[in-house]
Amino acid sequence: MPKPAIKTAKPSSRRSPCPVSCALDIFGDRWTLLVIRDLILGRNRFKDFLASPEGIPTNILTDRLKRLLERSIVTQVSSSESSKHLAYQLTEKGHALLPIVKAMKDWGLTWEKGTRAGLMTAT
Amino acid sequence: MPKPAIKTAKPSSRRSPCPVSCALDIFGDRWTLLVIRDLILGRNRFKDFLASPEGIPTNILTDRLKRLLERSIVTQVSSSESSKHLAYQLTEKGHALLPIVKAMKDWGLTWEKGTRAGLMTAT
């Protein structure tokens, strides 16, 4: 019986070799970096991401987690709550996104009135 | 005759007060930060942005520049080539996006094989 194919990250749909462009090919949307933010803050289950204040739709969350798994930015582990439930955690590649999220946080706090980082502490 | 209304940045469609979320409300897409990248690199005319290797469609470029002007991230100036032609330049708020673009460049170079920053030098 053949082994199931392991999905690997593919640079298939790159618009250019520019690293900024390639990064945006992966997370250039309104939602992906919010999932990364949540993971940085210690939220790690599907229902945690759904509970974040931005209200990510279920189908978009499913799609973004699938892409992040395919790109080896997150990995699946057993939830600490129950071995039956899966949780997500950042890989080394995923943790390396922290400076991007941090820079966005700093920019937002400085330039967008009324933003508050207090909501970003782990719950 | 009434003065034309001056467009100001409005936090109208925010998903939450989180600064990361608010930042992504503005530039959470595949194209906006590429225009910012180009401006950082000294490209400043509409035709310069169109000539970048990612091939931004004209209608998307028009829309993104309009949004960036409304958000006071870019401003319009006379082109150095001709006083009849307009160019764009980053405001202080726009320049403040540099750490985000730089962090994405560093991440892409480290984690996405085959990316090259050489294309990012000003032309």
Distance, CA of A95 to CA of A2 (rounded, Å): 34
- pLDDT at A93 exceeding the cut of 70: yes
Which residue's structure tokens are 């959470």?
B28
Question: Residue B77 sits in which domain range?
Answer: 19-120
Distance, CA of A107 to CA of B80 (rounded, Å): 30
Mean pLDDT in residue range A87-112: 98
Give me the amino acid identity at A93.
K
User: What's the confidence (pLDDT) of residue B86?
Assistant: 86
CATH number (domain holding residue A92)? 1.10.10.10
Residue B13 in domain: no
Burial B29-53 (b: 16+ CB within 10 A, else e): bbbbbbbbbbbbbebbbbebbeebe
User: What's the confidence (pLDDT) of residue A44?
Assistant: 95
Question: Tens digits of per-residue pLDDT, A39-82?
Answer: 999 999 999 999 999 999 999 999 999 999 999 999 999 876 66
Strand ranges inside B33-100, DSSP E? 74-78, 86-90
| Residues of chain A positioned with their CB less than 8 A from the CB of B114 | 11, 17
Residue A6 in domain: no
Kindly determine whether residue B18 and residue A116, on different chains, have CB atoms separated by under 8 Å: yes
Cβ proximity of A75 and A45 under 8 Å: no
Structurally, chain A folds into a number of domains equal to: 1
Residue A31 in domain: yes
Q: What letter does residue B120 receive in the DSSP assignment?
A: G
Please state the separation of Cα A60 from the chain's center in Å.
12
Question: Tens digits of per-residue pLDDT, B57-103?
Answer: 999 999 999 999 999 999 999 876 666 778 999 999 999 999 999 99
Question: What is the chain B residue with the closest CA to A104?
Answer: B20
Residue B1 in domain: no
Mean pLDDT in residue range B24-49: 97
**pTM value?**
0.86
Question: Tens digits of per-residue pLDDT, B110-122?
Answer: 999 999 986 544 4
Kindly determine whether residue B30 and residue A25, on different chains, have CB atoms separated by under 8 Å: yes
Residue B57 in domain: yes
Mean pLDDT in residue range B23-36: 98
Smallest CA-to-CA distance from A28 within A42, A14, A7, A47 is with A14
Residue A43 in domain: yes
Residue B14 in domain: no
